[in-house]
């Protein structure tokens, strides 16, 4: 027997997490902007980059080639494939709004990082660097996966927030470490990519919920007017 998901299960973002999510979107946008202004047109690592690179080097050692290989999962094609797979899982589980988010979130993140790089103009070894598209892609997938888990498990607000943060941090930080260890990006590039994904995915989830609630209100008003 197929059951219809409840209102809470249909949500892309639980009601209790929407206000905190809106605050996080604003903070992510501010952090992104501060770093973008600071490193616009730059081609060198800053003081913060140097400190973070030293920390990453202590943890990862000198296996640069291995870490470069690990970053391949953040390439556009793997991200598209994983996003499509995630969308299929959401559809099979009847999580329609998260299925939409699985397409829109990573998609907008990819578009944003691609368009913002030439506008900001930071480079590393001659290539555009800020924000990191690889970090953005990985983070966006982590966020959508976390929201799917939250929809299935339905934890309390604090546990839900922790799951959402864990999804973003595990995926985003893992990719960021690989990129920095592989000498592909400056650390602050990865922070910019992380912030882009957070703003795009959570912002999209908020818009999806707003549109769904507006549609539901119109339906209710129509039913009242017809009665």
Write out pLDDT tens, residues 21-52.
Answer: 999 999 999 999 999 999 999 998 888 999 99
Query: Mind listing the pLDDT tens digit for each residue in 50-79?
Result: 999 888 888 877 677 778 888 888 999 999
Report pLDDT digits (tens) over 132-141.
Answer: 999 999 999 9
Residue 17 CA to its chain's centroid (Å): 16
Question: String of b and e for 149-174 (b: at least 16 CB within 10 Å)?
Answer: bbbeeeeeeeebbebbeebbeebbbb
How many other C-beta atoms are found inside a 10 Å radius of the C-beta of residue 92? 9
pTM score of the predicted model: 0.91
């Amino acid at each position: 027997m197929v059951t219809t998901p409840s209102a809470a299960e249909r949500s892309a973002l639980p009601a209790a997490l929407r206000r905190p999510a809106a605050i996080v979107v604003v903070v992510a946008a501010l952090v992104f902007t501060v770093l973008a202004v600071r490193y616009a047109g730059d081609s060198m690592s800053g003081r913060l980059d140097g400190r973070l690179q030293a920390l990453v080097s202590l943890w990862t050692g000198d296996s640069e080639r291995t870490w470069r290989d690990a970053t391949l999962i953040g390439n556009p094609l793997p991200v598209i494939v994983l996003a499509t797979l995630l969308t299929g899982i959401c559809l099979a589980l009847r999580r329609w709004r998260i299925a939409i988010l699985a397409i829109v979130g990573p998609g907008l993140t990819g578009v944003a990082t691609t368009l913002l790089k030439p506008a900001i103009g930071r480079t590393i070894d001659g290539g555009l660097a800020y924000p990191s598209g690889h970090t953005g892609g990985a983070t966006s997938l982590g966020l959508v996966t976390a929201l799917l888990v939250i929809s299935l498990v339905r934890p309390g607000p604090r546990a839900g927030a922790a799951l959402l943060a864990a999804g973003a941090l595990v995926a985003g930080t893992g990719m960021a470490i690989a990129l920095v260890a592989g000498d592909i990006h400056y650390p602050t590039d990865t922070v910019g990519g992380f912030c882009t994904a957070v703003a795009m995915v959570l912002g999209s989830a908020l818009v999806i919920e707003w549109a769904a609630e507006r549609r539901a209100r119109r339906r209710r008003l129509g039913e009242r007017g017809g009665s």
